[in-house]
Amino acid sequence: MSKPTLIAVLGPTASGKTEWAIQLAEHFGSEILSCDSRQFYRELKIGVARPSEEELARAVHHFIADRSIETPLSAGEYEREALAKLDMLFSKNPVQIVVGGSGLFAKALMEGFDDMPEVDPSIRERLNAEFAQNGIDPLREMLLKLDPEHAKRVDLHNHQRVIRALEICLQTGKPYSVFRSKKRTSRPFDVIKIAPDWEREILYERINTRVDLMVSEGLEEEARSVLPFRHFTALQTVGYREWFDHFDGLMDRETCIAKIKQNSRNYAKRQLTWNRKESDLRLFNPTDFDEALVTIESKLR
């Protein structure tokens, strides 16, 4: 190989990415970087589907429960840390693995980011508080006024993307879109992107089953334990914010669980939309890992 190669296992929640990544690591003698933006934190286990102790024992993992939620990791910081980690890993083995469903963090590692200005944390806190109190509609309206061009392109149902654009607008007084270039950052490694491709209805069944399992394992108690950090971005997500609403008396327990399933399916839908925009992403029958492996080995040759 002229360059080291990063194998990126992408795909929606509950699609089996973790198992595929581990099998690849076992086959190539590689290590695994997570690009799941919530699995970074020690306090979050059940609700983020962190790999089990048995799975973690099968391959060396990085960026799994390696920091506290009190020191959040941005996509830009992840990019710098993950590139440094990869540089070290490639010196030992020219094939390494990254896995996760957070498209923004995967993009940061594989392509890099535009040079965005630093944002005053108080702006982010104010926007998160607005979302927590009034939902996404006021934020959506604000973005339509401050940057109508970006509002046409961004997923207006994804509050994290809307807030990210707004905080740049409010920090600089300029539209977020003026800071976005179309240039891809050159990387000193090649990337092979793969994803297990389930039929939509089967994927939704897997998501519903996973949520039931999470609840039986203690998701409610985990959500209660991180309630003091509810304003953090990592907790403004599926599987936690619904419990916070339940704790506030806004919905009963059964409705809460049903909402987690519904919002998880919607999140998977957004992940699938993101993946459709990924160039060179190969989709494979999720029950035929060997086909994916043959394709990867042919590309490596």
DSSP letters spanning the chain: --S-EEEEE---TTSSHHHHHHHHHHHHT--EEE--TTTTBTT-STTTTPPPHHHHHHS-EESSS-B-TTS---HHHHHHHHHHHHHHHHTT-SEEEEE-S-HHHHHHHHT----PPP--HHHHHHHHHHHHHH-SHHHHHHHHHH-HHHHHHS-TT-HHHHHHHHHHHHHHSS-GGGG---PPPP-SSEEEEEEE---HHHHHHHHHHHHHHHHHHTHHHHHHHTGGGTTSGGGSSTTTHHHHHHHTTSS-HHHHHHHHHHHHHHHHHHHHHHHHTSTTEEEE-TT-HHHHHHHHHHHH-
103 is in an annotated binding site: no
Residue 17 assigned to a binding site: yes
Residue 18 annotated as part of some ligand binding site: yes
- 14 labelled as ligand-binding? yes
Contact 7, 24 (CB under 8 A): yes
* Residue 277 amino acid letter: K
CA distances from 118 to 77, 110, 115, 123, 170 (A): 12, 22, 9, 11, 12
Residue numbers in the known binding site for ATP are 11-18
Residue numbers in the known binding site for substrate are 13-18
Residue numbers in the known binding site are 11-18
